[in-house]
Amino acid sequence: MADNTGTIRMGMIGAGWIAQDHKRVLGSLAEAELVAVCDLDNERAEALASGTGARTYQDWLDLLDDLAPLLAGQQIGLLLGTSIGPTQSRPWFVDMRAGGGNLLERGSHHLDLARTVAGEVASVQTAAGRVRLARSGGEGGDIDDALTMMLELTSGALATIVVGWTKPGQPGHYGLDIVASDATLRLALDPDFTLTGVSAGQPVDKRAASQPMERSMSRFLRAVRERDPAAVVCTPPDAAATLAVAIAAERALEVSRAVPVYAS
């Protein structure tokens, strides 16, 4: 909500690990101010709010680019997404029922990316490895550390997504390779965010102008300022469509065969 100086007043629900990043990004944006923080754990809410003047709450109810032109006119045939690297182990993250494991928590980003680049998903197959990469055998949790998902898109294209959770300190590998009728492109994700390759016989060498989390926060603030729900890049129905693919992928793991996606 914008005040009469035009500053957008933001509230955050959940004051955990990722909220620290959101607070840092918000702090760098002159147009926004953190005014409320909500967490079931009041100490966490207070810690996140410190230095900002934000009010704290314990119940959230109290707290009221650029790929498309390069591929225009082309048919995408193949995607290969990789999300391999360490991430913080939170109690719910290692509990499949609570957090959805690496498939939902990390793989969903790539499911979303595949839909954004190449369109809707018709069916999905999933396999999980049995080797523990990120934890020793005695450590708790029931999630799979390594997963592969194979998506059949409604366009007829194929996408493979590989997710691997590794030990802290091991180098990460995050990216998407795109093979189209007249293009071979590599999107490198984190920390560099570059797009390289060849499209229609021309070399492609692009670098994101700003950090994606910063950009998505700025876009969200713009949508709020302009009261324009259409300016929100990922709408709730879009998020639900990605969730439908993730749910089909979970089901595919249970039944060991391809599962159709019914996005509503």
Ligand X SMILES: NC(=O)c1ccc[n+]([C@@H]2O[C@H](COP(=O)([O-])OP(=O)(O)OC[C@H]3O[C@@H](n4cnc5c(N)ncnc54)[C@H](O)[C@@H]3O)[C@@H](O)[C@H]2O)c1
Kindly list the residues in this chain that would bind ligand X in the complex (CB under 6 A). 13-19, 38-41, 44, 60, 90, 105
Q: Around Cβ 97, how many Cβ atoms within 10 Å?
A: 9
| Nearest residue (CB) to ligand X, 23 versus 244 | 23
Minimum Å distance from CB 25 to ligand X? 12
In whole angstroms, the minimum distance from the beta carbon of 253 to ligand X comes to 19
CB of 165 to ligand X, least distance (A): 13
Report the residue number, 55 or 90, with the smaller CB distance to ligand X. 90
**Residue 10's closest CA among 228, 59, 19?**
19
> Which ranges of the chain does DSSP label H, i.e. alpha helix?
17-27, 42-49, 96-99, 101-102, 108-118, 212-225, 236-255
Q: How far is the CB of 17 from ligand X (least distance, A)?
A: 4
Q: Which is nearer to ligand X, 90 or 132 (CB)?
A: 90
Query: What does the DSSP 8-state code read for residue 247?
Result: H
In whole angstroms, how large is the CA radius of gyration of the chain?
20
Residues forming beta bridges with residue 123, ordered by sequence position: 152, 260
- Closer CB to ligand X, 40 or 233, in the complex: 40
